[in-house]
Amino acid sequence: MKKQSTKNKKRTYHKPILVTSECLTGANVRYNGELLNYDWIKTFRKHIRILKVCPEMEIGLGVPRPPIWSISSPFGHRLIQPDTGKDITPKMSSFSKKFLSKHSTVDGFLLKSRSPSCGLDKVKLYAGADRAPVIGYTVGQFTRKVLETYPELPVSDERILSKRVNREQFLTTLFVTASFRSMTEDNSRQSLESFHDQYAMLIESLNVNRGKKMAKLLKSVSSSTLPKTVYLEYKSHLSQLLSRKHRLPARLLVLNKIIDSHSKVFSTAQKRELKFLLADYENGTSLFADISKTVSSIFNSHNLLTESISTFLSPFPLELLEK
């Protein structure tokens, strides 16, 4: 496939659908009426479709409201409102199933940490509802259903994503997931090949061996029709790649390879700047996204910024990670 330069072309992204705990958007839905404010979440709205949900409000609990607890019982973990004695487990379970069934086309979840309904971990688990001690930690009931229904999708919380390094990986996974969903909707071989061509360098930087398997899988298809088994196997490979922690050496290896292959056209000043940028990334003083904008600019000045290189350097809009 012919590589096309993206010079002077504005990069476009497939807009992810992100299910987000409504309280994280500043809405007055917290049990105690507290309003939360996260500037970095506000920046998401320009490039991400936010699908807001507050499970506790959806099952009829108002604001303010007595808190609910996750308690251990002979019948498993239950959601209890100690002040009223209500067991809201059935309502929460029913809502969770209906919501996830209704919104089956999503790309990720950003949920409220430590919440008995939305917490990803560190949700206090009580021995009982009557001033019982904390005996451990568990997952929120809504989130448990999310993880069961969408094990392949990125799921995180605002506590984890407050660190830019975690946010960088989450956004990469979110936008690649959205691109895969959008670009392969017709389930054709051509669309899957187009996706792989665009993301080949990024895939290589995540795991070169698995990337080779994915490429080999595509070559095994001789007809224009894409067998469902091939599509599902490719999707499984991609999900496993994206779920792994992004390793600095692998990314650095691919970036160095790209730079070395075009080094003859760079000026002495540009080579020096690239060297400093790579050193900052290798030393951990900069994230990959922090150096990507300058690297992209240097490549673009020589008309070298192909779609694949651009995708590798900026898998998501870099403004979403601004300090």
102-115 pLDDT, tens per residue?
A: 999 999 999 999 99
pLDDT of residue 224: 80
pLDDT at 36 over 90: yes
pLDDT at 323 over 60: no
* pTM, two decimal places: 0.94
| Mean pLDDT computed over every residue of the chain | 93
CA distance from start to end of the chain: 37
Of 205, 206, 122, nearest in space to 160 by CA: 122
Residue of 10 and 290 predicted with greater confidence: 290
Amino acid at 219: K
pLDDT of residue 5: 52
Q: Three-state SS for 16?
A: coil
Find the helix packing angle between 248-261 and 268-282, rounded to 10°.
Answer: 170
pLDDT of residue 2: 45
pLDDT of residue 4: 52
Averaged over 67-83, what is the pLDDT? 94
Question: Which of the four pLDDT bands, split at 50, 70 and 90, describes residue 284?
Answer: confident
Spans of all domains in the chain: 17-161, 163-323
Place of tokens 């900052």: 280
